Structure 1
Amino acid sequence: MNLPQSPNFGDKEMMDDALSSQKFVTEGYNTFANECSTPALKSEFMNLLSEEHQIQHEIFIEMQKRGWYQTTAADQSKINQAKQKYLAQN
């Protein structure tokens, strides 16, 4: 069966969709890992979670290489403020 191609769903959109899907999957596995009743089951979900995070990171890196996911460096003063805020709470 040949599905019609959408002119607006190219490589970038597919990568965006894959990244969003991976984020959704890791949220689910994280919840499942938090709610496990046995150490063996928790360990298995933690392994799955780690694997899914690795896949998500690989997609993210590939998108960055292609210029499709731009990040900006954090301002050092804001980093220092955040550190002080959390150190003060402890």
Structure 2
Amino acid sequence: MNPNQQNIIGPERSTGLPQVKGPEINDRDIINDMLAMEKYMAAGYNTAVNEASNQQLFDIQLQLLNEVHRAQRDLFNLMHQKGWYKLEAAEQNKVTQKAQQFANYRSQFPYQ
């Protein structure tokens, strides 16, 4: 990690991680497991949406996929708020470089 790299931490970061007193599962473990499950479900629903055989099935599965994404985001936000999901701030020049790279990719497609 770059020593000048800035971490993006949630507002409760000063409380730190839950204290582990033994093999018991703590709140962080439970929420992390829930987040992993939501990610797994999103992958499954994404495939189901792509392969839906009719419009009604497509619409229902798309709605479920959207609900899973919202639940996933809520869990991510909770973990970030508690300081349990660490993010690193990207350097502005790298963000600009990636944005330009994807703009170049997009310009290669005729259906913009």
TM range (shorter): 0.7 to 0.9
Normalised to the residue count of structure 2, the TM-score between the two structures is 0.70
Give the unaligned 5+ runs of structure 1. 1-5
**SS class of match (1:45):** helix
Matched with 1:3 is none
Normalised to the residue count of structure 1, the TM-score between the two structures is 0.85
Query: Does 2:37 match 1:27?
Result: no
User: Structure 2: how far apart are the matches of 1:68 and 1:38?
Assistant: 41
Give the unaligned 5+ runs of structure 2. 1-21, 108-112
1:9 Cα shift?
1.7
Greater RCO (CA < 8 Å, at least 6 residues apart)? 2
1:87 Cα shift?
2.1
**SS class of match (1:13):** helix
User: Structure 2: how far apart are the matches of 1:26 and 1:75?
Assistant: 30
More helix by share: 1
Give runs of ≥4 in structure 1 deviating > 6 Å. Answer: none
Q: Identity over aligned residues, as a percent?
A: 34
